[in-house]
Amino acid sequence: MALWAVGIAVGFAALQRHSAIPGTTHTPSASADAFFRVHRQPGRSLLVMAVHPLCPCTDASLAELGDLLARSRGTCDALLLQYHPARGTPDWPVDPSPRHLGGVSVPILLDRDGQIASALGAETSGHAVFVDAGGTVRFHGGLTIARGHRGRSPAQDAVLDTLGGRPTKLTSAPVFGCSLGPECRPDAKP
């Protein structure tokens, strides 16, 4: 009986540790500016999120994006970059139709081998990059508070503060999800 309890405790501790370990994130490169010039409407803010269609944490990231869009009351546009391997298999999920998140129709751009995401500094599913109405990157990172968990986050508040013209010091946050690659595996460092 004691061995059983120890096994459960160790398993629970491992799950807790895993949910709190973020993936890799980088600052968007200079080539990201060209992407934003093409995809951002003049005078509008844009939030781009890179997602892996097989990552179990993607639903939580999309839910948080939907909450942010609903709370922004139409002041922010969004775009999803869906990872797609250049040599996809016939059973690879492909759904380029727009998603409705927070009452907003969000277009999906298939991202072959994650090349666009990489230029935006994203290596982990759920990585978001927020560009203000003037075209300046104001935030990059995750919108969730832990792997696969929903809940209001400081990252979401920082984006909303920027949209509302309020100062914020938060410019990046950890990203929780799978690596943007052909295999969906947690991009966690011990």
**Inter-residue contact 182 to 107 (CB < 8 Å):** no
Note the pLDDT of residue 28.
Answer: 62
Note the pLDDT of residue 29.
Answer: 61
What ranges make up the beta strands (E) of 12-66?
Answer: 45-51
Q: Taking all residues of the chain, what is their mean pLDDT, rounded to a whole number? A: 80
Note the pLDDT of residue 120.
Answer: 94
- Collect all residues with Cβ–Cβ distance below 8 Å to 139 and sequence separation of at least 6: 128, 129, 130, 155, 158, 159, 162, 170, 171, 172, 173
How large is the average pLDDT for residues 53-75?
Answer: 92
pTM (2 decimals)? 0.81
Over the stretch 152-172, which tens digit does the pLDDT of each residue have?
788 999 999 999 999 999 999
Over the stretch 97-156, which tens digit does the pLDDT of each residue have?
788 888 888 999 999 999 999 999 999 999 999 999 999 999 999 999 876 657 778 899
Over the stretch 34-63, which tens digit does the pLDDT of each residue have?
899 999 999 999 999 999 988 998 999 999
Note the pLDDT of residue 147.
Answer: 61
Note the pLDDT of residue 32.
Answer: 75
Percent of the chain with pLDDT over 70: 78
Reported confidence tier of residue 92, pLDDT bands at 50, 70, 90: confident
Give the CA distances from residue 105 to residues 17, 37, 51, 108, 180, in Å, rounded to whole numbers and listed in that order. Answer: 35, 20, 16, 10, 24
Statement: residue 27 has pLDDT above 80: no
Residue with the two structure tokens 């892996």: 52
